[in-house]
Chain A
């Protein structure tokens, strides 16, 4: 019985040990920050990071401002969910080279415009205040070609 406990403990310890090492090696803690460079830890994101650096929003909005929703809990749920799927896809390699945004993530990004621009757009035509409609015309604002 005790031997079994020790064996299980060893295995669990291994997981924790390797897991912590991987977490540190992969700069896991950087994902808790707002630093856009963290998103480009994965090489797939380099292009989007570089294009954002050339965008008009580079000094006023980072990745998380547009790609996560309002509120701490929804923000970290979104980060966790994207983190999981990105890890899975990027590890298996099963994704298109030019990555395509999911509809859920698109909604998050589209709604994010109003975080800053709501007061300005309120006085404009209806098209400017409908949540999610901004990207129809301003779709390349964050990552211009």
Chain B
């Protein structure tokens, strides 16, 4: 009676093995098919379609990851945390990011009199760029121009429509509008068409601010009539499309033309000297009367000073690394901190354990943060000294000199503070800029105490 049992067991084992081998066979078959066909054209894309959902039909993996920019995850110095709030008629958001002003009240002192002292939250993912700009409290305290749309909405099509096919004309028209009016012209946050040519998916720059900024920057280096879309390499474009918006800027003149201040260079002090020369101010500091400047997210400029830029590593290499989808490799359109994705982002080049890589980044960031705090404390002291000096009979020339120092110190500090990497994009440059900031603060305090 033993053999029927043995035969039965043999049959079961054979059946399980057959199932396993078939599963393997099918899996190998799938991978081979995936490697053969990586793209299926389901819809015809044209330069008139800005809805990412339509593009997503041809590029489902990219679209799927693009949608994930709604995720809110904190890193040590960035990312965002989902904070619940009660929606109101004026602001229907039920979730926002944490307030930076509550985390560090010194920022309120630095920006006193400016809209950023009223509401400034940690930036959220691309999915929120339009809503968070539309509903920020800053809108209530100052009248914002339509220029803001340049980077808070998908403006390629709206610009073309406004300019009757001419991108620059549309850009100029929207700059002159009020924010509320311009808001009715746009619909989407950043979408596929902002960085891709619909006919061949080649990267392209669609933002006039960057086109003009790069042209001016290259001209200052002796390259006349530089056209990003005609001259940049593919690898350069993998940073330039991000640099369309992740930069320092200001609104020039009465027509509020968005301008990237790069004619003297991309470094913080070079940008400062540009502003010193043209006398631009963002606002007048409420406590000290200083004609002050606000620095804005200069990620592109800081990255340019760092080792990764020198080695030809682009924004997309770390923030949109390749991910595996079956036998395919697609670039991750869930743009986020590389610290949340160390294997894909860092270990392509750095063959060290994930924890060690994270620790290295944190070391750089902790050092930058501690120096930023030194510079911030010094600046707050200078602001206090200046406030006092304006009421205790200190000479006008001393006050003016100290105000000039505050303007410089504050811009340089804000350049590092506003930059979203806490020094990582260019560690030594960040320290140099913070050192310069402290030097200007020192000079300001000295001006007030000199007899």
Interface residues of A (CB under 8 A from B): 1, 4-5, 7-8, 11-12, 14-15, 18-19, 21-22, 25-26, 42-44, 87, 91, 96-98, 100, 139, 145
- Could you tell me the distance between the alpha carbons of A42 and B324 in the complex, rounded to whole angstroms? 13
- Which B residue's beta carbon lies closest to that of A44? B324
Contact check, B351 vs A139: say whether CB atoms are below 8 A apart.
yes
- What residues of A have a CB within 8 angstroms of the CB of B25 in the complex? 18, 21-22, 25-26
Would you give the 0/1 interface string for B197-225, flagging 1 where the beta carbon is closer than 8 Å to chain A?
00000000000000000000000000000
- What residues of B have a CB within 8 angstroms of the CB of A14 in the complex? 14-15, 18
- What residues of B have a CB within 8 angstroms of the CB of A100 in the complex? 343, 347, 351
- Could you tell me the distance between the alpha carbons of A97 and B24 in the complex, rounded to whole angstroms? 20
Shortest distance from the beta carbon of A51 to any chain B beta carbon, whole Å: 11
Would you give the 0/1 interface string for B12-25, flagging 1 where the beta carbon is closer than 8 Å to chain A?
00110110011111
- Could you tell me the distance between the alpha carbons of A52 and B133 in the complex, rounded to whole angstroms? 48
Shortest distance from the beta carbon of A135 to any chain B beta carbon, whole Å: 10
- What residues of B have a CB within 8 angstroms of the CB of A7 in the complex? 7, 11
Mostly helix, strand, loop or mixed at chain A's interface? helix
Contact check, B3 vs A91: say whether CB atoms are below 8 A apart.
no
B4 at the A interface (CB under 8 A) = yes
B348 at the A interface (CB under 8 A) = yes
B39 at the A interface (CB under 8 A) = no
A-B contact pairs, 26 of them (CB 8 A): A4-B3, A4-B7, A4-B11, A7-B7, A8-B10, A11-B14, A12-B14, A15-B18, A18-B18, A19-B17, A19-B21, A22-B24, A25-B25, A25-B29, A42-B31, A43-B31, A43-B327, A87-B24, A91-B24, A91-B27, A98-B344, A98-B347, A100-B343, A100-B347, A100-B351, A145-B349
- Which A residue's beta carbon lies closest to that of B8? A4
- Which A residue's beta carbon lies closest to that of B3? A1
Shortest distance from the beta carbon of A73 to any chain B beta carbon, whole Å: 26
- Which A residue's beta carbon lies closest to that of B34? A43
- Which B residue's beta carbon lies closest to that of A18? B21
- What residues of A have a CB within 8 angstroms of the CB of B275 in the complex? none
B49 at the A interface (CB under 8 A) = no
Known contacts A18-B25, A43-B35, A91-B27; is-contact A98 B18 (Cβ 8 Å): no
| Segment 313-334 of B: residues with Cβ below 8 Å from A | 321-324, 327
B28 at the A interface (CB under 8 A) = yes
Shortest distance from the beta carbon of A49 to any chain B beta carbon, whole Å: 14
- Could you tell me the distance between the alpha carbons of A44 and B24 in the complex, rounded to whole angstroms? 16
- The interface centre, meaning the residue of A21, A22, A87 with most chain B CB atoms within 10 A of its CB, is A22
- Could you tell me the distance between the alpha carbons of A21 and B189 in the complex, rounded to whole angstroms? 51
Contact check, A8 vs B7: say whether CB atoms are below 8 A apart.
yes
- What residues of B have a CB within 8 angstroms of the CB of A139 in the complex? 351
- What residues of A have a CB within 8 angstroms of the CB of B31 in the complex? 42-43
18 further contact pairs, Cβ within 8 A, besides A7-B7, A8-B8, A97-B343: A4-B4, A5-B7, A8-B7, A8-B10, A11-B14, A11-B15, A14-B15, A22-B25, A25-B25, A42-B31, A87-B24, A96-B344, A97-B322, A97-B323, A97-B344, A100-B343, A100-B347, A145-B349
- Could you tell me the distance between the alpha carbons of A34 and B203 in the complex, rounded to whole angstroms? 40
- Could you tell me the distance between the alpha carbons of A15 and B11 in the complex, rounded to whole angstroms? 10
Known contacts A5-B7, A44-B324; is-contact A98 B343 (Cβ 8 Å): yes
- Could you tell me the distance between the alpha carbons of A22 and B4 in the complex, rounded to whole angstroms? 30
- What residues of B have a CB within 8 angstroms of the CB of A5 in the complex? 7
Contact check, B10 vs A11: say whether CB atoms are below 8 A apart.
yes
Shortest distance from the beta carbon of B260 to any chain A beta carbon, whole Å: 32
- What residues of A have a CB within 8 angstroms of the CB of B3 in the complex? 1, 4
- What residues of A have a CB within 8 angstroms of the CB of B35 in the complex? 43
Shortest distance from the beta carbon of A77 to any chain B beta carbon, whole Å: 22
Shortest distance from the beta carbon of A68 to any chain B beta carbon, whole Å: 20
- Which B residue's beta carbon lies closest to that of A143? B351
- What residues of A have a CB within 8 angstroms of the CB of B29 in the complex? 25
Contact check, A8 vs B21: say whether CB atoms are below 8 A apart.
no
Shortest distance from the beta carbon of B267 to any chain A beta carbon, whole Å: 28
